[in-house]
Amino acid sequence: MYIVQSYGFAVFLCFITMLCWGSWANTQKLASKSWPFQLFYWDYSIGIILLTLFFGLTLGSMGDSGRSFLTDLSQGNSNAIFYAFLGGVVFNIANILIVIAIDIAGMAIAFPVGIGIALVQGVIVNYIGDPVGDPYWLFGGVGLVTLAIIVDALAYSKMGTTDQTSKKKGIVISIIGGILMGFFYRFVADSMVTDFANPEAGKLSPYSALFIFSIGLFLSNFLFNTFAMYRPVSGEKTTFKAYFTEGNTKLHLIGILGGAIWGMGMSFSILASEQAGYAISYGLGQGATMVAALWGVLIWKEFKGAPKIVDRLIVLMFVLFVLGLGMIIYSRL
């Protein structure tokens, strides 16, 4: 299987992860004009399965290092499979909550709050499990990211929107989703081998763990997403019948593309984790907050017409994020 060999390339992959994780929600925005997010989310989860399976059968089955994808799947013990599957389940409920928050409050606020919390908590949890990197630089960078989240929330408070009750609901949902999302990566890490090139028996390779993770995500959809369909927090109720009768090929492909984009980011993050460490790999990927906020501000115009102080706060937020991410990278040098 293909294995990342250097820290520099691992950081590069983490930046690709950042772009993917910060950009996939644009597909939701495109589809939501004529397609409930709950129905979009079925295609999104299918896209993640297809992407992880493709990587497993290609990158995960090439070369002489480690175990090939199908061989690795067949030897994984129940404990490893359970943790990878649990990671998918925990991620799914967290992500559905954040998708709901995006639908209510917009990308520019839901992502910085939800994913920002997930970044801080996830770095702490993963560092405790695998203490790689200088903690002063690492947690100093996380601290700056936390300040960036606070600045973003302050910028939002200056908007003076007329639908404050709905927006506050979106923020609360983002917070809950962010707290849950801070744990999923650790479960996947606990399912994996410690040495990708010389894997111990019973544990899963990155490619197998990612595929089992995607299965956990998809199957848990039948509980979490079905509930969101028939008991929606935002918008109108929808049905399984609507998925087959109201959608078209374009809408389904948009959802699958969104899942493939997120799945690519997750795959690159996990592949980078051996060289970068789980805390750094996860932390850099969750810089997606900044990417998503850029989409929200520049493309979707979610801060259009805001007071000038909001523009200054947004600039400050990005500066803090960049400095924080730089410190996270330096912590491993």
SS3 22: helix
Q: Tell me how long the chain is.
A: 333
The answer to whether residue 274 is domain-embedded is: yes
Rounded to the nearest 10 degrees, how much is the dihedral formed by the CA atoms of 253, 258, 260, 263?
Answer: -160
pLDDT for the residue 171: 83
pLDDT for the residue 293: 72
Which stretches does DSSP call E strand in 42-89?
none
Q: Count of CB atoms within 10 A of residue 223's CB?
A: 12
The answer to whether residue 307 is domain-embedded is: yes
The answer to whether residue 1 is domain-embedded is: no
The answer to whether residue 112 is domain-embedded is: yes
pTM: 0.89
The burial class, CB within 10 Å (0-12 / 13-18 / 19+), for 245 is: exposed
pLDDT for the residue 7: 94
**DSSP letters for 107-173:** HHHHHHHHHHHHHHHHHHHHHHHS--S-HHHHHHHHHHHHHHHHHHHHHHHTS--S-HHHHHHHHHH
Strand partners, 204: 192
pLDDT for the residue 177: 92
Tokens of residue 149, six digits = 């989240």
Reduce the secondary structure of 182-247 to three states and give it as a string. HHHHHHHHHCECCCCCCCCCCCECHHHHHHHHHHHHHHHHHHHHHHHHHCCCCCCCCCHHHHHHCC
Mean pLDDT by 10 residues, the chain (333 residues): 94 93 85 84 96 96 90 95 97 89 71 79 92 94 85 72 66 90 94 93 96 97 94 86 92 95 96 94 83 75 77 88 90 88
| CA-based nearest residue to 148, from 332, 305, 308, 286 | 286
Alpha carbons 314 and 297: distance in angstroms, whole number? 9
AA letter at 182: G
Alpha carbons 17 and 21: distance in angstroms, whole number? 6
The burial class, CB within 10 Å (0-12 / 13-18 / 19+), for 294 is: middle
The answer to whether residue 2 is domain-embedded is: no
AA letter at 163: D
- Parent domain of 225: 7-330
pLDDT for the residue 241: 94
The answer to whether residue 270 is domain-embedded is: yes
pLDDT for the residue 165: 64
Domains: count for the chain: 1
Q: Spell out a b/e string for 103-121, using b for 16 or more CB atoms within 10 Å of the CB, else e.
A: bbbbbbbbbbbbbbbbbbb
The answer to whether residue 137 is domain-embedded is: yes
Cβ-contact 91, 217 below 8 angstroms: yes
pLDDT for the residue 128: 93
Alpha carbons 25 and 255: distance in angstroms, whole number? 10
Tokens of residue 123, six digits = 């770095």
pLDDT for the residue 286: 81
35: left (phi over 0), alpha (psi -120 to 50) or beta: beta
pLDDT for the residue 157: 67
